[in-house]
Structure 1
Amino acid sequence: MSILYVLIPLALVLLIVAVAAFFWAVRNGQFDDLDSPAYRILLDDDTHPPAEKDRPQRREGSGDDG
């Protein structure tokens, strides 16, 4: 029975922390747009070619030149 004197205040403190975290997330815009991040991965933007350093290097004399 004496454990309830510890668990009830601990549960209330955890509840207050969870509610505060939720309101902090809402205030900072975490729930503003829930749909577009899921679709952003599907949209491929290939407007810029890869940089020169990212391209694979061609080796001289690979044997397919003729």
Structure 2
Amino acid sequence: MSVLIWLIPVALGMGALGLLAFMWSLKSGQFDDLDGAAHRILMDDDKPIPPSDDENDQAGADADGVGAKSR
């Protein structure tokens, strides 16, 4: 029973600390843009890498059925 003398104030203190952290996050704008991260993951900011000259030669050979060395 004497443990409750310590546990109740500790639990109340942790609850108050959690409430203060939540209030700080609201005030600092942590919850302003809830959909932004979901939309950013879908946006592709990277530019495609242009194919190298070797890949262009291979693609041309595949397209017309003639290899680059046999031309």
TM-score category, normalised to shorter length: 0.5 to 0.7
- Shift, 1:2, TM fit: 0.3
> TM-score, normalized by length of structure 2?
0.64
Structure 2 alignment gaps of length 5 or more: 54-67
Deviations 1:17-65 (A, max 9, x none): 000000000000000010111110110124x677xxxxxxx8xxxxxx8
Scaled by the length of structure 1, what TM-score is found? 0.68
In structure 2, how many angstroms separate the alpha carbons of the residues matched to 1:5 and 1:17?
19
Using CA pairs under 8 Å that are at least 6 residues apart, name the structure with larger relative contact order, 1 or 2: 2
Percentage identity across aligned positions? 50
List alignment gaps of at least 5 residues for structure 1: 51-57, 59-64
Number of residues paired by the alignment? Answer: 57
Q: Does 1:14 align with 2:14?
A: yes
Once the two structures are superposed, the pairs formed by residues 1-66 of structure 1 within 5 Å of their partners are 1-46=1-46, 66=69
The structure 1 segments of at least 4 consecutive aligned residues displaced by more than 2 Å after TM superposition are none
Relative to its length, the structure with more helix (as a share) is: 2
RMSD: 2.5
